[in-house]
């Protein structure tokens, strides 16, 4: 169309379309809206060469802005039964965003343990507490170097949560956001979900971070650790949830050992991410 010629206004707008071809931000959307508004006038003034081209553009006008693609799933899918597919998507380098709602159990099928279930947590198939630590899905995704990765808990920091979504959307490549999500299988009143998310971060049970490959391209450390040092005792979180209290009540000796191990693993995880963020 630019070679054939059209109205001055549409020519200017179409020049910008080329610049925004792989963008989904507000500026790209506003320019696409401008193009759509100008097309009818341009069609009415088009010569015989431009007319079929403009008609085709009108037919395909929804593709003037790159599509925002998001996939949603739980931890059972992301950590376990669908991990192979998830890894394939992330490895592809395609501009696909993934949101993992991490409840740390198979919530939809009755609360079975998954690889997202932490040490000491009681779940189906782990009635005496899970003996192995939680899979670090985010860190595994970081290994690629070109995948945007974030760990969020909205109740702990809405600002960090929003930043993660905006950065994932802006990144022209695969992204994965892992969101801590309280669940009825935790024996928790769902009206207290936001407060529980904050408690999870304050005790070091969950950490907040963002790994942005675009920072590496600028010569900066791509990892930003948004969590501060835990300010509450780790056990304060465990005592607040039935999946841990059950173990304390039924197997106190086992609970003592596993909870100590879980606290150690949480501290080591935070220190590892802290060192990675300081490199």
Are the beta carbons of 67 and 118 closer than 8 angstroms?
no
pLDDT at residue 22 in the model: 67
Q: Where does the chain hold its CATH 3.40.50.970 domain(s)?
A: 70-278
Over residues 111-160, the pLDDT tens digits come to 899 999 999 999 998 999 999 999 999 999 999 999 999 999 999 999 99
Q: Say how many Å lie between the first and final Cα of the chain, rounded.
A: 50
Closest CA to 186 of 178, 177, 195: 195
pLDDT at residue 266 in the model: 97
pLDDT at residue 10 in the model: 79
pLDDT at residue 146 in the model: 98
Q: Where are the alpha helices (DSSP H) in the chain?
A: 8-19, 26-44, 50-59, 75, 83-92, 137-142, 158-170, 193-202, 213-217, 234-238, 242-250, 252-278
Give the span between the Cα atoms of 248 and 162, in whole angstroms: 37
pLDDT at residue 162 in the model: 98
pLDDT at residue 86 in the model: 97
Instruction: Flag residues of the chain having pLDDT under 50.
Output: none
Are the beta carbons of 176 and 148 closer than 8 angstroms?
yes
pLDDT at residue 166 in the model: 95
**How far, in Å, are 38, 124, 265, 274 from residue 202 at the CA level?**
53, 28, 16, 16
Please state which CATH number belongs to domain 70-278: 3.40.50.970
Give the span between the Cα atoms of 132 and 166, in whole angstroms: 34
Burial of 76 (0-12, 13-18, 19+ CB in 10 A): buried
Q: What is the pTM of this model?
A: 0.84
- Count the Cβ atoms, other than its own, within 10 Å of residue 165: 17
């Amino acid at each position: 169309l630019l070679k054939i010629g059209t109205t001055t206004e549409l020519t200017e707008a179409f020049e910008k379309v080329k610049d925004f071809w792989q963008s989904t931000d507000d500026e790209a959307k506003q320019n696409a809206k401008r193009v759509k508004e100008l097309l009818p006038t341009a069609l009415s003034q088009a010569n015989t060469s431009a007319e079929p081209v403009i008609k085709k553009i009108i037919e395909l006008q929804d593709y003037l802005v790159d599509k925002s693609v998001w996939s949603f799933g739980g931890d059972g899918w992301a950590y376990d039964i669908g991990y192979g597919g998830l890894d394939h998507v992330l490895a592809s380098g395609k501009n696909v965003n993934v949101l993992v709602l991490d409840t740390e159990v198979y919530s939809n099928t009755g609360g079975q343990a998954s690889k997202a279930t932490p040490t000491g947590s009681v779940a189906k198939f782990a009635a005496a507490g899970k003996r192995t630590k939680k899979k670090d899905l985010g860190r595994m995704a970081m290994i690629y170097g070109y995948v945007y990765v974030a760990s969020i808990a909205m109740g702990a920091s809405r600002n960090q949560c929003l930043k993660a979504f905006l950065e994932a959307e802006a990144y022209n490549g695969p992204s994965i956001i892992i969101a801590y999500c309280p669940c009825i299988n935790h024996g928790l009143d769902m009206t207290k979900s936001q407060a529980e998310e904050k408690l999870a971060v304050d005790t070091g049970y969950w950490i907040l971070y963002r790994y942005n490959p675009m920072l590496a391209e600028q010569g900066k450390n791509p990892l930003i650790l948004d969590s501060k040092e835990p300010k509450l005792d780790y056990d304060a979180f465990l005592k607040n949830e039935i999946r841990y209290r059950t173990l304390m009540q039924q197997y106190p000796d086992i609970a003592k050992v596993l909870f100590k191990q879980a606290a150690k693993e949480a501290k080591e995880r935070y220190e590892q991410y802290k060192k990675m963020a300081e490199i």
